[in-house]
Each structure stands twice: as C-alpha cells, then as structure tokens.
Amino acid sequence: MRNYKIAAIPADGIGTEVIAAGVSVLESLQKRLGNVSFAIEHFDWGSDYYKKHGVMMPTDGLETLKNFDAIYFGAVGAPDVPDHITLWGLRLPICQGFDQYANVRPTKILPGIQSPLRNAGPGDLDWVIVRENSEGEYSGHGGRAHRGLPEEVGTEVAIFTRAGVSRIMRYAFKLAQSRPRKLLTVVTKSNAQRHGMVMWDEIAAEVAKEFPDVTWDKMLVDAMTVRMTLHPQSLDTIVATNLHADILSDLAGSLAGSLGVAPTANIDPQRRFPSMFEPIHGSAFDITGKGIANPIASFWTAAQMLEHLGEKEAATLLMSAIDQVCAAGIKTPDVGGKATTLEVTEAVITAIIKS
C-alpha cells in the first residue's frame, strides 16, 4: 500500500465546493485501486480565517505544509477582502516559498464539451501551457511614492533572471519532448520589451540546442492570441512568462469550453517541497452556494497530482472517468448542462468504481 499525505486547502467561495467533490473522488480511487491511500488533512485557511485572525494562514503555515506530499488547493478571494491581500496572503506565499516555479496548465476540448470555436472539436485543441511561476511580472518588486498626491508614482518591476528563465525553459523543452508532437512555442514580447524579453529569446535558443528532437518557434504574445483562436491545431506545448501565460491560459480555458474545466499544477520540479494542485478558476462569488460549480477542473488537477506522485494508473483512471461523464452529457450549466456539482461528482465516482 502506498500512502500519501495530502493537505487540502479549499479556502473561499466555490473552492470549498469543488475540493469537497475532489476529495470524494480521491476516496473512490482509493477504494477502487486498493493499493494506494490518501491521508487528507483539511486546513481552514482563507478569507474567513483572515477576518478572524488578520492573516490568511498562520505564520508557520509553510512549516506545516512541508510535511505533506502534495497540496490540493481550491481558490482564494472574497467580496469583502481586497484581492491583493487574499492572493499575496495564501496562494503566492505557497508558490514562492516552495519554489514551485513551473505552473503547468493542460487544456483540451473534452468529449461532449462545445468549444466556442465553431470548427474545433476534441483533438483540435490539445495544449499544455507552462507558466513561469516564480519571477517575471509577479515578483512583487516595485513600490509607490507620494501616495495620494497628484505626483504619485507606482512601479511594478518585472524581474527576469538567467537562472529563472533557464530552468523554466528547460522544463518546457523537456515536457514538449515527452509529448507525441514534440512541439514547443516560446511566447515573449521582445519587440516592445527589449531587455528581459530579449534575454528570454536568447535563452530559448541556447536551451533548444539540448533538445534537437523538439521543434520550436517563437510568438509575440499579442499575435499568440490570434494563433490560439484561428489555428489551435498548430500549437502543442507553450512556454511564457508569469503574466503572459496567466492571460493566455484563461483564453485557453475558455476556448476549451469553460474556466470550470481548466486545471493547473504548481510544481517544484526538484521535489524539495510539496507541489500544489488547483483549478485555474477563482472563488466565483456569482455561483457560490448554488451547488452548480463545475468540479471537472478540480478532478483534472487531482489527476495531475496523482501523475506527479507517480500514480499513473490512478491518474489515467480518473481522466478516463472524466471523459466518460462529459461524453455522456452529465455537465454543469457553465458547459451547457443541467447537472449539479454533486451529480457530476457521483457520475465520476460511479465511472471509477465500474472501470
């Protein structure tokens, strides 16, 4: 029996609904497989915790999380707490504290799900976006001077280091190499941003030499939105900066049908620390408590977690259950169905148990 310690942090809004669904799916995998078990510990960190304690998580939060094999995360964000507090108070400290520098975002059109692209069906859009997750535009460097005065200044400085860019580039090339098409697109904005972005391009060309079997090309981020929309078949693995990939992956999620199916993994490729797995979406105030949140993104990210833990069979079983349930039309309203979170979850569990 292989045992894994999983820290579940559902946090806010629909985060609590989709993580509860994901935990019951993990329990069904444990039952079905019999050779793997999950010890799942829940943490009540997030915006409610903040309102009580003035912090999003305890000061020794990272110390506590270090003892786990993986982190299963919901979403942060509450209508009455500023977004930069919720984000910088919980999710970013975990990503940065555990040096989860590779943010991996697979996207495909699942069977039975309609892409807003008229001519695209399953197979036409099958991408993995690799987002640099430790520096770039979200490094937190900058400041404000002369607050509130007419001459107030705010700076938000993007930090790109050779070490940071090289390691994400190498990760992306390796991932591209592991996929059947061995195709990588490097996204920058090196026409307008002539320092850090030009360095990205140079490092890409250097790292490419280590991967002669990977075909790669370069795109400017604005042109990339056009290519994703008009020629989705021409793309496979994509690597971009923290900001660019954040935006492109929301576009990718919506082109695949809904943000509610888009997963993400925050990975420490060196495995010094636990990696964190979460749906891409936020806490979705507009549907919180209605029981209609799409749990597919949180199931898919659980499959990424299983893959990362080396549990390939469990990951494959879960992905195939997701495919079956989507193909059968058991879908939440965001993807054109009528099912509730619970109905989708029960259908996935049934598919797992019967497989």
Instruction: Kindly list the residues in this chain that would bind ligand NAI in the complex (CB under 6 A).
Output: 14, 18, 75-77, 83, 91, 259-260, 278, 281-287, 293-294, 297, 332, 334
- Own/partner contacts of 20-27, CB < 8 Å, gap of 24 or more, are 21/295, 21/298, 21/299, 21/341, 21/342, 21/344, 21/345, 22/72, 22/295, 22/298, 22/299, 22/301, 22/302, 23/72, 24/345, 24/349, 25/299, 25/302, 25/318, 25/345, 25/348, 25/349, 25/352, 26/302
Closest to ligand NAI by CB, 185 vs 266, is: 266
When asked if residue 132 is in the footprint of Mg ion (CB under 5 A), the reply is: no
Q: How many residues bind Mg ion (CB under 5 A)?
A: 1
Comparison of 9 and 187: residue with beta carbon closer to ligand NAI: 9
Q: Say if residues 228 and 109 touch (Cβ distance below 8 Å).
A: no
Give me the least distance between CB of 16 and ligand NAI, in Å please: 12
Residue 282: other Cβ atoms inside 10 A: 18
How many other CB atoms are there within 10 angstroms of residue 157's CB atom? 11
Q: At 89, which amino acid appears?
A: G
Task: For Mg ion, give the closer residue by CB, 248 or 303.
Answer: 248
Q: What is the DSSP string of 179-213?
A: STT-EEEEEE-TTT--SHHHHHHHHHHHHHTT-TT
The reply on whether position 268 binds Mg ion by CB under 5 A is no
Joined tokens for residue 71: 């982190």
- C-alpha angle 108/110/115, rounded to 5°? 75
* Rounded least distance, CB 109 to ligand NAI, Å: 17
Please identify, using beta-carbon distances, which residue of 76 and 339 lies nearer to ligand NAI.
Answer: 76
Q: Which stretch binds Mg ion (CB under 5 A): 105-113, 127-135, 223-231, 246-254?
A: 246-254
Q: Which is nearer to ligand NAI, 236 or 334 (CB)?
A: 334
Distance in Å, CB of 351 to Mg ion, minimum? 30
Q: Cα–Cα distance between 108 and 170 in angstroms, integer? A: 23
Q: How far is the CB of 224 from Mg ion (least distance, A)?
A: 16
Stretch that binds Mg ion, among 78-86, 188-196, 205-213, 239-247 (CB under 5 A): 239-247
Q: Which residues contact 274 (CB under 8 A, 6 or more apart)?
A: 7, 65, 66, 68, 69, 70, 71, 98, 268
Residue 248, contacted partner among Mg ion, ligand NAI, none, CB below 5-8 A by kind: none
The closest residue (CB) to Mg ion is 246
Which entry of Mg ion, ligand NAI, none binds 246, CB below 5 to 8 A by partner kind? Answer: Mg ion
| The residue to which tokens 């490092």 are assigned | 203
**Which string of x and - marks every residue 23-62 that binds Mg ion (by CB under 5 A)?**
----------------------------------------
CB of residue 18 to ligand NAI, shortest distance in Å:
6
Distance between CA atoms of residues 316 and 108, nearest Å: 15
Give the whole-angstrom CA distance, residue 154 versus residue 258.
34
Binds Mg ion by CB under 5 A, chosen from 69, 132, 135, 246:
246
C-beta of 99: minimal distance to Mg ion in Å?
A: 20
Give me the least distance between CB of 113 and ligand NAI, in Å please: 13
- Shortest gap between Cβ of 164 and ligand NAI (angstroms)? 21
Residue 90 is classified by DSSP as I
Contact between 69 and Mg ion (CB under 5 A)? Answer: no
- Residue numbers at the binding site for Mg ion (CB under 5 A): 246
